[in-house]
Amino acid sequence: MEVAQTIESIRYLVKATRRRGGKIGLVPTMGALHVGHVSLIEAARKDCDFVVVSIFVNPTQFGRGEDFEKYPRPLEADLEICRKAGVDAVFAPASEVMYPGENLTWVTVEKLTRPLCGRCRPGHFRGVATVCTKLFNIVGPDVAYFGQKDAQQAVTIRRLVRDLNMPLEIVVCPTVREPSGLAVSSRNQYLSEQQKKDAAQIYKALQECRRMIDAGQTSPKRIIGRMREILQQVPSMEIEYVSIVDAETLETAGRIAGRVLVAVAVRLGSTRLIDNILVDAGR
């Protein structure tokens, strides 16, 4: 496995595969790799001839007061995980490589980035869309892999690629969970054992939502009310949002019909956690 820290070197590494007409897969990450990331790497490994994992804690997607400084950066362990997973090349640039001076060009995806996390994290998706555009331009993948865990990010990147005619396919892989149901996340490292147990309540609320929809409930208000009750069983859990939106447009669902995204964001102490499920109400 090769490790590239510069744009020239990662471009050089993918060149041979591109010349041969091989398929290049990119898994963009911020590192602190876990089984969720590995599932994306495995999907890429299956489809592609050359798999690149990028590891970059992107400063422009963090807001003021967020966890950019304390975000875990265990590079050696990450490289070992990549090696074991059969990655061909890791692109791990320094901030100065990705943003060598003042950045004047930004990519903004409208509408889709306004609700849900967009409301609580202004500028976040502008940072995400910009860094993904840069990574796509640097690596030139045929396919890029994202996780359903970050549903709004996946929808936004799909739209970005479509609107800007970028020549790559976006594949979204299912959320990998702990046995408790808690979605695996690099940020789970911030949680105490008790908080981890408490955090499992998020998935309980999501499952209850699925049960209600399966039982024929069509009122988002009723479902959200019940989900909030379940989340509030953990007194220290601060609810940022519980939303049911159209899975494609991310507009608030007035009534449960078709494919809906049920999304939750909470805070446990200083840790922000998000999770979601997609439900096809089939009505």
Q: Which residues are catalytic?
A: 37
CA distance 92 to 1: 13
Stretch that binds ligand AMP, among 92-100, 159-167, 169-177, 195-203 (CB under 6 A): 169-177
Interface region with ligand AMP, contact rule CB under 6 A, candidates 35-43, 106-114, 201-209, 245-253: 35-43
Q: Which of 175, 201, 243, 276 binds ligand AMP (CB under 6 A)?
A: 175
For ligand AMP, the closer of residues 101 and 270 by Cβ is 270
The nearer residue to ligand AMP, 138 or 173, going by C-beta atoms, is: 173
> Shortest distance, CB of residue 183 to ligand AMP, whole angstroms?
5
Q: Which of residues 139-158 bind ligand AMP (CB under 6 A)?
A: 146-147, 149-150
Who contacts 232 (Cβ-Cβ below 8 Å, separation ≥6)?
Answer: 239
Q: CA-CA distance, 91 to 78, in Å (whole number)? A: 12
- Helix pair 124-139, 7-19: axis angle to 10 deg: 50
Q: Per rule CB under 6 A, is residue 40 in the interface with ligand AMP? A: yes
| Beta bridge mates, 261 | 245, 278
Q: Of 42-50, 134-142, 181-189, 267-275, which segment contacts ligand AMP by CB under 6 A?
A: 181-189
Please choose, out of 34-42, 129-137, 229-237, 239-247, the segment that lies near ligand AMP by the rule CB under 6 A.
Answer: 34-42
What are the two backbone dihedrals, phi and then psi, of residue 226, each rounded to the nearest 5 degrees? Answer: -65, -40
CB of 71 to ligand AMP, least distance (A): 9
Taking the C-alpha atoms of 185, 192, 179 and 262 in order, what is their torsion angle to the nearest 10 degrees?
-50
User: Candidates 93-101, 119-127, 170-178, 271-279 — which segment interacts with ligand AMP by CB under 6 A?
Assistant: 170-178
Question: Among residues 50 and 71, whose Cβ is nearest to ligand AMP?
Answer: 71
Residue 146: φ, ψ to 5°: -130, 160
Give Rg (Cα) of the chain: 19
Q: Where are the extended beta strands (E) located within 56-130?
A: 89-91
Give the per-residue contact string, 192-231, with ligand AMP (x = CB under 6 A; - = no): ----------------------------------------
Separation CA 273–CA 256 (nearest Å): 25
Which one-letter DSSP state was computed for residue 177? B
- Binding footprint of ligand AMP, residue count (CB under 6 A): 17
Q: How far is the CB of 127 from ligand AMP (least distance, A)?
A: 11
Site for ligand AMP in 2-31 (CB under 6 A): 29-30
In this structure, what are the phi and psi dihedrals at residue 54, rounded to the nearest 5 degrees?
Answer: -100, 140
Beta carbons within 8 Å of 149's beta carbon, 6+ residues apart: 36, 175, 176, 183, 184, 185, 274, 275, 276
Q: Which listed residue (13, 17, 25, 39) binds ligand AMP by CB under 6 A? A: 39
In terms of DSSP bridges, do strands 143-147 and 169-173 run parallel, antiparallel, or are they unpaired? parallel
Cβ 196 to ligand AMP shortest distance, Å: 14
Bridge partners for 207 per DSSP: none
Please tell me whether residue 124 binds ligand AMP under the rule CB under 6 A.
Answer: no
- What amino acid occupies position 64? R
Site residues for ligand AMP per CB under 6 A? 29-30, 36-37, 39-40, 146-147, 149-150, 173, 175-176, 183-186
